[in-house]
């Protein structure tokens, strides 16, 4: 037993050290590069261009990347536990599609011109929550939940929202079309700091709520029938977990856009590295998701500098390649 806890301790310590190194790297690299000594000196100053670069551009992006990466990762982890399906992630259920559709409608009808800072995030949240409410009334209010039915409903919602977005793209102007496409590929460039703080708060709150159900999640690993045998109200548990995962996903997508693969690849890699116990799996997945998205943002900002790639391009390419290599090397990767 002590051996297991020691392994958990060193795993978390290693991830925290990696997170710290990733943050230092993200602060140092950009159009203007800083050494470690220069970073320390800048933080000691009360004003200056370098300080403005760190506090107004790089630190907000790091915070948002950490929060969104962590939120999407633990959402994917919990949704995979609910559905016991290795291919499930937040986007499979149509939540991101709803957020993207909300933003597309906002841009096409020019609503973002009235409230430029808040219109896109608010539209994304409304779209995501519309999907959540629809899913709840269609599938979640039944006395007996059919997991496969919920999953298929989510997949169909994804197809419907994608089709509507394609219709809007084909009928709008080239300028609006470019804005929609860039948003749907994801970005951590969010000027509203209060919105960033909200995403950080919601993602950490979601992690804490999931930890409240950690023993039930471990029981759910054995299957819904075994969990019921242990006295767990699986219908209520699945509803609560689904709603929490959907909310933190919806807010993250509405703020940062559609960022794929984070909620799929990170949970599987963490299961392989630290095991299936959700006591260690939740926090390690949250930290790893944040690290992965911060590193992806560094690449997006620097790979074709001074231009910036959408972060979804980086997560898609790297995440897909790593996943393919990992699956080919180990048959354990997709096991729960």
| Whole-number pLDDT of residue 314 | 87
Detail the DSSP E strand segments found in 106-233: none
| Whole-number pLDDT of residue 329 | 67
Tens of pLDDT, residues 204-229: 999 999 999 998 988 887 777 777 77
Residues 38 and 45: their CA atoms lie apart, in Å, by: 11
| Whole-number pLDDT of residue 336 | 59
Q: What is the pTM of this model?
A: 0.89
Residues 283 and 321: their CA atoms lie apart, in Å, by: 24
Rg of the chain on CA atoms, in Å: 20
List phi, psi (to 5°) of 187.
Answer: -160, 145
Q: What is the Cα 263 distance to its own chain's centre?
A: 6
Higher model confidence: residue 243 or residue 286? 286
Tens of pLDDT, residues 122-166: 887 788 888 877 877 776 555 555 666 777 777 888 888 888 888
Residues 331 and 261: their CA atoms lie apart, in Å, by: 19
Higher model confidence: residue 259 or residue 62? 62
- Structural domains in the chain, sorted by start: 2-329 (1.10.3470.10)
């Amino acid at each position: 037993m002590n051996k297991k806890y020691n392994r958990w301790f060193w795993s978390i310590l290693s991830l925290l050290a990696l997170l710290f190194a990733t943050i230092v790297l993200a602060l140092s690299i950009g159009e203007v590069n800083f050494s470690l000594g220069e970073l320390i000196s800048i933080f000691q100053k009360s004003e200056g261009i370098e300080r403005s670069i760190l506090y107004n551009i790089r630190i907000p992006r790091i915070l948002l990347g950490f929060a969104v990466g962590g939120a999407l990762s633990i959402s994917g982890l919990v949704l995979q536990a609910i559905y016991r399906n290795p291919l499930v992630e937040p986007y499979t259920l149509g939540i991101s599609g709803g957020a993207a559709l909300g933003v597309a409608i906002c841009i096409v009808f020019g609503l973002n011109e009235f409230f430029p800072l808040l219109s896109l995030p608010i539209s994304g949240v409304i779209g995501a929550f519309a999907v959540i409410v629809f899913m709840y009334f269609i599938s979640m209010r039944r006395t007996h939940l059919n997991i496969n039915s919920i999953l298929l409903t989510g997949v169909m919602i994804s197809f419907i929202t994608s089709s509507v977005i394609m219709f809007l793209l084909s009928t709008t102007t080239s300028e609006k079309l470019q804005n929609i496409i860039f948003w749907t590929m994801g970005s951590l460039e969010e000027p509203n700091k209060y919105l960033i703080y909200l995403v950080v708060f919601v993602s950490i709150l979601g992690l804490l709520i999931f930890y409240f159900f950690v023993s039930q999640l471990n029981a759910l690993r054995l299957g819904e029938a075994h969990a019921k045998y242990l006295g767990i109200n699986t219908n209520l548990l699945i509803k609560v977990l689904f709603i929490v995962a959907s909310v933190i996903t919806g807010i993250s997508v509405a703020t940062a856009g559609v960022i794929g693969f984070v909620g799929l690849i990170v949970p599987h890699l963490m299961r392989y590295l630290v095991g299936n116990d959700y006591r260690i799996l939740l926090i390690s997945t949250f930290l790893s998701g944040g690290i992965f998205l911060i590193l992806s943002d560094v690449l997006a900002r620097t790979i074709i500098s001074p231009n910036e790639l959408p972060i979804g391009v980086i997560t898609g390419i790297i995440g897909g390649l790593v996943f393919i290599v990992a699956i080919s090397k180990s048959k354990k990767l997709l096991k729960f």
